[in-house]
Structure formats: structure tokens, C-alpha cells
Amino acid sequence: MTPSFNKVLPVLLLTALHAAGVAAQTSKTAAAKPAPAKSTAYSAAGKQVQVFTTAQGTTQRMAAGSALSFQPSAQPLETQVCVFVDPGHTFQTMLGIGGALTDASAETFAKLPKAQQQEFLKAYYSPTAGIGYTLGRTSIHSSDFSSGSYTYVEDKDAALKTFSVKHDEQFRIPFIKQVMAAASGKLTLYVTPWSPPGWMKTNGEMLHGGKLLPQYRQAWADYYVKFIKTYEQMGIPIWGLSVQNEPMATQKWESCIFTGEDERDFIKGYLGPTLAKGGLGGKKLIAWDHNRDLLFQRASTVLDDPEAAKYVWGIGYHWYETWTGSGMLFDNERRVHEAFPNTNLIFTEGCKEKFDLAKVDDWALGEKYGQSMIGDFNAGTVGWTDWNVLLDETGGPNHVGNFCFAPVIGDTKAGKLIYTSAYYYIGHFSKFIRPGARRVASTTNRDWLQATAYRNPDGKLAVVVMNSGDKPQEFQLWIKGQAAATTSPAHSIATYVVN
């Protein structure tokens, strides 16, 4: 079934896509260095606000509502609920929003009827008929979300003479190329390994952790270069890479342990110089790529060493610190951003685990995304990457049974797509906050209303407001002495676009 953007008009022709592509390639300093606080003249007087709402218990899914108008508003009282936006104070530039193009996604896509394949591509990658994804991640050989473990070389081939991505030519490479076409070529794609080949590791296998053997550090660094160059020769541009997926997790699937010192030394002694020598010094290198809990400790270990830091574009992170019972640790992101303001933060993975087809309609799926995205962007994050863009009716395929949710489920038995609330919650950001947008100051005065705001390259403001409460909330969208009165439905998310 087609995603129900009921009443969605050809929503916002946000025209700065060329500029967005340029922004995606900017240097780490340009992307991350916060602009000095300034108070640029901005007036909402006479402006209209387009409202798009997704709400629990309704048919509203990114539904266009009646336009709002701003009226003069004096100093608000504490009894007046407000979302305050000040476009004169700007922060990080948006790189993009998207999801991972895994083997599992590619295999599920291949099993869908052609009509549903086209529906999927439009739903995710069209900026008008869909939610306009522009960012992607894929694995260097297998991950748990593959049908089996595999590498690109034969055992003990440290010279990489047998290197071949023939495995990927069946599903993943054609899938990525269709995604690129659907995104009009404006896909910022980065790559990540889950494990070196088993023969390069202390435990002799790709699964169950283990560590990279010292004698294979150079061969492993060469492997990244081989992969990137091979994909690019096949017509898939690679924007960047991370060093290792979840480097502190010993998993039953592909995994490899790197301590902070291991990663620091591998970057400065092998991977950074090898990328540079291979003509790939311009690729954006991401460290950590694991949960927020150890985020600052890893960032400081790597970035306090100038010889490692000079190669690092950003610090990636996931949201799975919640497995401990902890909430999402947004303050750890803020500490990294404060301590290392010239290094980018990028969300590299998140999903709801323990798939259950009976729970695809749970509203909590979307609210978790909304909470994370607002918290991450407000903490300084420049890009946000969901995990699998598509999984089948089992939450896979996954060769170790680690079945998970995706925003869109491809029911390969029924030949249809199922859109979860997560798809719409993500869309409230990705559709209306485009690459090249600058985050602007925004606050609320009630904790059940969460908000973030961006000014797009075309000058339009996009303010995302999420109500996690059980009751509707009247509030004023208040901008520099002008206010537009509105109501946020219970358990809803809305994007307010100020023209």
C-alpha cells in the first residue's frame, strides 16, 4: 500500500539540492564548526505556516492542515505554553538523513513485485512523493543482516590478489544503483566493516569478537581502499567510511574488538595513511560507530592524539545504550561537541530489536525515533542514519536470528509494503529539513513537547514538534515577537514550515 500522505500537496519544492550535494562534501571544519552566535534580523510578521501532522489514533500521516498566521505577541507568560524559535542563532549544517542499504534490504527488495519495488523507491527517496532520503550506509562484506558470512578474498591472501565483490553483484549493488537513481544521484553513501576476514583475527573467525592480528593491520587497511575503489569503479561513489562497527561488542555475528587505543593507533599508523596514499584522503573517516555510553571516552582517546585526529572527520554513534535500562544519553554527545567542536557527530545506526510482526503498528516505534532525532540534532549531530531501510515479514533475513524492525516491512508472501509509524516520524525530519539546512535555536517550556528547528537553503524554516503526552496541547509557535497559535495532538509529531 502506498504511504498515506493524506492531503500532502507537492509539499515544498525545496530547491537547494545542488547546494546540498556540495554541503555533503564539505570539509569537517566547514560542516562542524559552530558559527559564532549572532542575531540576524528575522521577522515572522505576515508569514504563513504550513502544518503537516502525524498523530496516533487518527488517519493523519504527514497530513497537510490549514495554514496558520503569525500575530504580534508580547512577552509570554509562564502559563502560556510555547515553542520558541530564534533563527538569528545558528548551529550545525545538515549533512542528510537516511538509512542503511544492507544485504537484507537488497534481498527483500528483490523478492517484491516490481510495482512495490517502485513504490518503495519513491516512498523513501522522492523529496516530493516520499520522504526524501539523502544519506546511506552499507557494509564492507557481510554483517548479521546478510544471509550468511562472506568476505571478498580467499584465506591468507594478505596481498588481496583475489579481491572481488562478485557476491554483491547479485542483490546489493543493483539495489544501491536503483536507490541512487531514485535519489537523483544525490546519495551520500558511507561504508562500514563488521569484521575483518577470520584469518586476520585472533579468534580465527568473523563472528564472536576477537581482535585484528598486528601482522594484518596493513592488509586490513588496504582492504578498505580496495573496496571503495572497486565500488566506485562500478559506479557507486563512496563519501566516507567508519573504522569498525560496534568496536566494543563481542557479538554472535560479525564483530571485532578495538579498544580506544587500538582504534587510535590503527587510524594514525595504518588506515589514515593508507587512504591518503591510495588517493582517498578526501573520504570522510568516522571513528567509534558504537553507543552513546562510551562516546566521550572514545572520542577523547582518538582525538586527543593529533596524529590520529588529523584523519578523523567525525565520531559516529548508535542508540543501543538503552539495553542497560538507561535512557538515551544525549548529554554525552554534547560533551563531545563542546570538547571537539571541529569534529562532526553523526548517528550511524539505530533500530527497534526483537521483531514481532504483530507489533508493526505500535506507536512507540515512531516515538523512539522522534525522541532520538530531536535529541541528537539539538546536541549537534550533522547526519542521521537509520539501520535497515527494508526488512521482510520475519524481521530479516539475518543469518544469526537477530531479527529487528525497519520503518518499512516488505511482506514478501503477500507482495506488499507495511509502513510503520517510524517511517512517518523520520519523514517529518528528512522531508522538510534538507541537506545544507542550518539548525537554529529552539526551546520549549513543557517537557512533553520536544522541538528542533532548521532554516533550509531556500530560507524556509522547518520546526519539528513532538508531543509525547497523553493529552492534546495548545501552544504558540513564538518567533521574535510574533506567534502562531496551534494545537499538538496527543502522541503526535508535526512539522511547521514557515514560508
The strand pairing partners of 410, in sequence order, are 392, 417
Grouping H, G, I as helix, E, B as strand and the rest as coil, residue 138 is strand
Helix (H, G, I), strand (E, B) or coil at 372: helix
226-234: long-range contacts (C-beta < 8 A, 24 or more apart)? Answer: 226/152, 226/160, 226/163, 227/140, 227/152, 227/165, 227/191, 228/191, 228/280, 228/283, 229/278, 229/280, 230/163, 230/165, 231/165, 231/173, 231/191, 234/165, 234/173
List of residues 6+ apart from 252 with CB closer than 8 A: 207, 208, 400, 402
Q: Which has the closest alpha carbon to 62: 128, 135, 16, 134? A: 128
Q: What does the longest C-alpha to C-alpha distance in the chain come to? A: 73
| DSSP-derived 3-state class of residue 190 | strand
CB of 220 closer than 8 Å to CB of 200: yes
Distances in Å between the alpha carbon of 401 and those of 21, 137, 146, 366, 412? 37, 21, 11, 24, 18
| Whether residue 154 lies in the annotated active site | no
Length of the chain, please?
Answer: 499
Among 107, 246, 254, 263, the one annotated catalytic? 246
Residue 85, C-alpha cell as written in the block: 524559535
Sign (positive or negative) of CA dihedral 315, 121, 459, 20: positive
In angstroms, rounded to a whole number, what is the distance separating the alpha carbons of residues 372 and 378?
A: 10
Instruction: Identify the active-site residue in 107, 119, 254, 349.
Output: 349
Whether 283 contacts 228, CB under 8 Å = yes
Phi, psi dihedrals of residue 369, rounded to the nearest 5°: -65, -45
Q: Cα angle vertex 313, ends 177, 256, to 5°?
A: 75
Q: What distance in Å separates the CA atoms of residue 297 and residue 299, rounded to the nearest whole number?
A: 6
DSSP 72-115: E--SPPTTS-EEEEEEEEEEEEP-EEEEE--HHHHHHHHHS-HH
Residues in a beta bridge with 454: 439, 462
In whole angstroms, give the CA distance from residue 369 to residue 188.
21
Name the one residue in this structure whose C-alpha cell is 567525525: 314
Is residue 169 annotated as part of the catalytic site, yes or no? no
Bond preceding residue 397 cis, omega within 30 of 0: yes
As annotated, the active-site residues are: 246, 349
